[in-house]
Amino acid sequence: MKIEIIGSGIVGLSCASFFAEKNCGVTIISSSNGPDENCCSWWAGGMLAPWCEMESAEPLIGELGQESMRFWQKFTSSYQNKGTLVVATSRDLPDLKRFGRRTKNWQQVKQDQIATLEPDLADRFTTGLYYPEEAHFDPRQVLPELVNHLKNKGVKFCPNTSFSKQVLDAPTKADHRIDCRGLAAQDHLKELRGVKGEMLLIKSNEINLSRPVRLLHPRIPLYIVPRDNGLFMVGATMIENESRSGATVRSVLELLSAAYALHPAFGEAEIIEIGVDARPAFPDNLPRIIHKEKTTYLNGMYRHGYLAAPAMAKRLVEQVLGLSTTTKQSNEPAVSTGNI
Amino acid sequence: MTIKLYDDEITSRFLIGTALYPSPAIMLEAIKASRAEIVTVSLRRESGSEQAGQNFWSFIKDSGAKVLPNTAGCKSVKEAVTTAHMAREIFETPWVKLEVIGEDDSLQPDVFGLVEAARILTEDGFQVFPYTTEDLVVAEKLITAGCEILMPWGAPIGSGRGLNNIYGLRSLRAHFPDIPLIVDAGIGLPSHAAAAMELGYDAVLLNTAVAKAGDPVLMAKAFALAIQSGQQCYQADPIEKRDMAAPSTPVAGLPFWNQDHA
Cβ atoms of A56 and B22 within 8 Å: the answer is yes
A242 touches chain B (CB under 8 A): yes
Calpha distance A13→A39 (Å, rounded) = 12
For chain B, the 3-state helix, strand and coil shares in percent, each to the nearest 5, are 40, 15, 45
Which whole number is the average pLDDT over A28-45?
90
Calpha distance B37→B28 (Å, rounded) = 13
Which residues of B sit within 8 Å Cβ distance of A?
Answer: 22-26, 28, 45-50, 52-56, 59, 73, 158, 208, 212, 214
The DSSP symbol for B46 reads: T
Calpha distance A125→B170 (Å, rounded) = 41
Which whole number is the average pLDDT over A21-30?
94
The DSSP symbol for B65 reads: P
Residue with the bigger pLDDT between A219 and B174: it is B174
**Percent of chain B residues past pLDDT 70, beyond the cut:** 90
B17 pLDDT tier (thresholds 50, 70, 90): very high
Residues A265-286 have pLDDT tens digits of 999 999 999 999 999 999 999 9
Residue with the bigger pLDDT between B64 and B43: it is B64
Which whole number is the average pLDDT over A215-236?
91
A340 pLDDT tier (thresholds 50, 70, 90): very low
Burial class (CB in 10 A: 0-12, 13-18, 19+), A98: middle
Q: Could you tell me how many CB contacts below 8 A there are between chain A and chain B?
A: 57
Which whole number is the average pLDDT over B237-261?
68
| Residue of chain B minimizing CA distance to A58 | B22
How does the average pLDDT of chain A come out, rounded?
90
Residue A251 C-alpha, separation from nearest chain B C-alpha, in angstroms: 9
A336 pLDDT tier (thresholds 50, 70, 90): low
Integer CA distances (angstroms), B45 to A13, A251, B30, B226, in order? 33, 9, 22, 31
A330 pLDDT above the threshold of 70: no
pTM of the predicted protein model: 0.85
Residues of chain B contacting A219 with CB distance shorter than 8 Å: 158
pLDDT at residue B248, as a whole number: 63
Integer CA distances (angstroms), A238 to A232, A263, A295, A320, B20, in order? 19, 23, 30, 33, 10
pLDDT at residue A339, as a whole number: 41
Calpha distance B201→B69 (Å, rounded) = 22
A327 pLDDT above the threshold of 50: no
Integer CA distances (angstroms), A293 to A19, A220, B175, in order? 18, 43, 68
Cβ atoms of A120 and A263 within 8 Å: the answer is yes
- For residue B41, the tally of other CB atoms under 10 A from its CB is 24
A128 pLDDT above the threshold of 70: yes
Interface test with A, best of B45, B51, B60, B79 (most A CBs within 10 A): B45
Cβ atoms of B31 and B22 within 8 Å: the answer is no
The DSSP symbol for B84 reads: H
Active site residues of B: 97
| Residue of chain A minimizing CA distance to B50 | A243
Q: Interface pTM (ipTM) of the complex?
A: 0.80
A331 pLDDT tier (thresholds 50, 70, 90): very low
Which whole number is the average pLDDT over A62-67?
96
The DSSP symbol for A192 reads: -
A325 pLDDT tier (thresholds 50, 70, 90): low
Which whole number is the average pLDDT over A309-334?
73
Task: Give one DSSP letter per residue of A195-246, joined into a string.
Answer: EEEEEEEEE-SS---SS-EEEE-SS--EEEEE-STTEEEEE---BS----S-
Task: For residue B196, give the nearest of B154, B246, B157, B250 by alpha carbon.
Answer: B154
Which whole number is the average pLDDT over B151-160?
92
A337 pLDDT above the threshold of 60: no
Residue B243 C-alpha, separation from nearest chain A C-alpha, in angstroms: 36
* Sheet (strand A2-6) strand order: A156-158, A25-29, A2-6, A176-179, A295-299, A288-292, A335-337
Calpha distance A77→A148 (Å, rounded) = 13
B81 pLDDT tier (thresholds 50, 70, 90): very high
pLDDT at residue A326, as a whole number: 47
Q: Which helix (H) or strand (E) holds B173?
A: helix B166-175
| A41-50, A325-334, B106-115: segment of lowest average pLDDT | A325-334
